[in-house]
Structure 1
Amino acid sequence: LRGAEVDLEQAASLRKMLVTMAEDIRVVLIKLADRLHNMRTLHALSPNRRRAIARETLEIFAPLAHRLGIWEVKWRLEDLAFQHLNNGAYQEISSMLNAKRQEREEYIESVQSLLQTELDKADISAEVTGRPKHIYSIHKKTEKYRRQNLGVDDIHDLFALRILVDSEKDCYLALGVVHSNWRPLPGQFDDYIANPKDNLYKSLHTTVLCIDAHPVEVQIRTHEMHNLAEYGVAAHWLYKEGKTSDVEFEEKMTWLRQLLDWQRDVSNPQEYVEAFKTDIFQNQVFVYTPRGDLKELPAGATPLDFAFRIHTDVGHRCIGAKVNGKLVALTYQLQNGDTVEIMTSKAVRGPSLDWLNPNLGYLNTNSARTKVRQWFNRQERRANIERGKDIFRRQLRRLNMAMTDEELSDVLNFSSTDEFMVALGGGEITVEQVVDRIANQEIPPDSDFEKIYSVPASSPASGIEVLGVGDLLTRMANCCTPILGDNIIGYITRTRGVTVHRRNCPNIVAERETERLIPVGWSKAHELYPVRVRLEAQDRVGLLRDITSLVSEEGVNIASCVSEEEKDISVVSLTVYVDGISQLNRLFSKMESVRGVLGVSRARV
């Protein structure tokens, strides 16, 4: 339980940070810097705490830095977290890099020198540098290659160079120089200048076979692109300071607005963080509305996910979809560049439960699934409210009582009348508990208990002693009718002193404000206590006569006796006066010996 509380508290804290970040992105820059400092000083913490912080860093903060394009912070967080989570693998890769460091540096220097010469010949002003590889990124590629039965030597970019030029045109000219000198590897070219990543990243990537046929990855970008790649949104502000708003930047940051949308739609902090991890950090697809508005969704998203991204109500009323003008199934996975049109019903018919079935593939984003679950929860809540109101109205009519919502709120421990009706309609509390609570009218916590103490003891329950207090009005609770020998407890009420309950009474078990409970015990005074008895038996002639005769022989007075038929079973309800639990147990034993009796029990009055 403690672990769950910590997780919930942690999720609530992360949610608050993410929402604040969406309103002012400078918040997350400070948080990332703070987390980087913390990761460098983790050794002072316990191993479990170190692993927990490292895992959170790898799952939340490093991907967040990547999403914002802050590469310099991203790789440092990843390497530090990986060192604490899997130190063995970290040291293995580190040793492998160190063992071949001199050989690798000499090789890169020779390629770098040759490339710089060729660029100078082409009259391209360029700066060629070696690009360091980071341990966690090598680990991820190593794991990927192992799954494909490939070795570490097959990783193409252990040798890497970066070319920085003055203009976008020079990027493509430099690419021509690289490809004219070394053969490019098929399938290893990416143009992120023409098609920037969603975190503002722009660059040309190619892998070529260099000296001795070693594969070398080459990145080509301008100085401005390089700063954006290393420092992301922070660098963007530096370059755009004092200029008008950047439409491209606004489009790339649309995912931040989703954080505010989720704040309104997703109430549970843990669900919010889970949606953030899966829906924001996955690879993204970019699709368009019929008006041409760009929408960003996780890879694998469906038209239904798109509908809920537009608006919750659009999702609930979705009955079909067109992609690029053609009807598609709601399970169709959207592709980059798709134009999506959602068809809706005029009436709000609500979502289908099938949409929540992961095997059917209707929804692939956590945020959309959460909205569907919330819809069904609201329907159940509304039904419970109406059911509770109906139960309560019928009970008030039966008792010939009338109560306003304000009076009801004064008596019951619920934040609102609706919350009370949900509990009553959902079976969390019974109507008998409610009636008894209304009858008792508990004293509020800040009331003066001394007002009760001045009331003299009354005869109906003078066999009760309130421990530590003298001359206090007491009465037996009608809900559980305790008798001498029962384990009991007192319950301070508004005007009737202390009501005495059995300790296992449902009203006491459900009581939230325990300061209203008070220890009580049985005195030595001889009293008779009313008890309601329920007896079930096979119907026969003379049954009622045999039962009443047996009760009289025990010397017990009968206050009332009613017999009813329930599904071919005779149910006899008696109210008797006994001097304690011992006499009641003897009476029960004798009743159970009567021919045809199926069971005997105490009943609520």
Structure 2
Amino acid sequence: MKNVKNFLDLVESSKQCIDLLSAKRFFRAYCPTSELIEKALELSIKSHEGQNRKTGHPYIIHPLSVAGYIGFLGGNEESICAALLHDTVEDTKVTLKYIKQEFGTTVEFLVDALTKPIDKDVDKIKIKELTFAKLTSNASKDVRVLVIKLCDRTHNLITIGAMIPKKIEEKCRETLSFYIPLANRLGMNRIKLVLENICFQYLFPQGYKEVSSFIDEHQNEFQIVLNNYILKVEEILMKSGFNKEDYRVEKRIKEKYSIYLKTQRKGIKIHELSDILAVRIILPKKSDCYHAMGLIHEHFTPEFKKFKDYIASPKDNGYQTLHTTITNQINHTIENQIRTFEMDQSAKLGIAAHWRYKNSGEINETLEERSISHKKYQKTFQSFYKTDSLDQIDEISIFTPDKKKHKVQKNDTLIDFAYKIDEVLGKNISYGIVNGKKVPPIYKLNNNDHIKIVTSTKNSIKHSWRYAVNSPKAKQYLEEAYLHELSKINILIVVQIFSKIFDKSGDYILEWINENRLLDKYIKSSLSIESIKRLIKFYIFSKISNKSLKKTLIKRYTLTPQFISNLVIYSNFNVTKTSIAHCCHPKVGDEIVGFLDSKNTLEIHNKLCSFSKDNLKNNLKNVCYTNWKIKTINQFEILLPLKDNSSDITKLFELLSTFKLAILKIKTLENFNEENLSYILLEVNYSEVSNIKRINQKIIDTFSNIKISEIRRDRRGNKKIYLPKKETSIFNWSI
């Protein structure tokens, strides 16, 4: 089978696989050989034996093709094995236990992440929700999950014509709303284009036909315009000192789906579009890109409104290119994309480019390089996974004092924009002036806002901002700043606790920690009591040689847990009571620390509040390791119809009191539904109880028309309501 050089040709080539022999040839062309890969290949063939696809072809063609895609993209041994086995657990008798035993924990994790959850009691829609949740959750731990899934979806779509029309529409809409935004976020533009064009063809057949007809009709004209323009560009480059072998110029007519979307957004006919033609100028160095752009602007008429410098300010998915649109001598509009060879690989393949890229374009990267690039894109995807929606986000326009127009995402804040421009600007933002009014950094931007960012020499970042920002870049920077600050506080907590226990100075303890390189191993952004206990044991073992004395000291210095309300306190001091600090109002789930006063009252503070920092730095009060007994707040909404008498309300209040449930909010709802009934709505806190199911069942048994639903909140505190399984409500729960 002929070896291809780009992903689009690879997908076309895979369509030739019609039996096991041709599929194996395709697989061998792009995948390396190893003992583990051969074992996975053998298991995949044996497991799928006798199974056929909707096309009538052997099922084994699918995993071999997906593995071929992964091999082409530079996937390693584990990724290729997972691609070969990704359907075995779901569709055959192979178990995850067997995969772990034969191929290791990483391959088992990847296969499990790609396997649909099975629940006979859940309908198909819910299964899809669970599948997406499982996929994105696991992809936030290892982004290879998503790369394999995107390759899996790509191969499934190229044979989608064998399905019934209803199934085709369902799969295409699912791809358009879920998989394409994910491919875009990881910068995997080639996969994105394949998926978009297939979905376009089936979901909007009339639009696809119109665009295709228009391009076919004008194909010769377009090619002549592009060829003449490229000849002129190459002449300009060579006259300016560029060698022919040092650069590459590519021509293209823009993608059909992209053209269709522009006609829809602008409300115009296809023949009215001016920017259908594009060239890509690929050069060795970043400085060459700016030089070439200057030459293009010198010889043609640029449209400065359409100029975008994504090299200086890369997109969130890492995309870097100069975009400039010009008008040539015969009045044709042509978009120019100017970038380096490395940027070109990254723009087309995203994370996979970092698996493959060398100047030669060969699959040849060290394990260290692979690890660095993997972590970079891992952070990008983790940020994406934490956003509220997986849909593509609309853009709005804002203006800076130099009257320059900037595109930002809907729901972006002033901080998001600051980080988009420059990391230093984001770190030093103090406040903003929007439309002449002073606003805080978390101000949400609106279309046509005129903004000015005011900075401060002091680092004025508030760590709560990370819940307010919208863009992955700002989230990543703020999360890293938060974790860095938290690590420093955790070090101070350990130093203070050890100083009190062993009667040593803080400097002495810190020196001991650094000498033994214990920071990364035990004192991380999330400090646990187990880590402190291990450190105490390590300290005693490093200082004492007598075995019996070691045992005595370990027993003496064991921190004893004390339970007060929803707090667990580890200390050898006797804590009589606790109080929540008014300066920072720590909430359940926050990182906290306790400070003991002379009356043995423990005051609970957020670790990052100024009081905590001052006390820890200056050793003003005794420190106790403190944590929440229950870290999540269990809250429910209870909706009860109001009848002519109020006995039901009284009964309900008595029942809640019996179970020691705290009522957080009471609201009456008049003429609430179609029956024009009135209801009482209660928000109830269950955090202090453990037998939630039994309590809810008791309430339901007591009141026939009562409805109970769980409240969950996102990190910004927004409320989301979840009804119990199998229950359909007549009520509007988004109150």
TM-score, scaled to structure 2: 0.41
- Say which structure, 1 or 2, has more relative contact order (CA 8 Å, 6+ apart): 1
Higher-Rg structure is 1
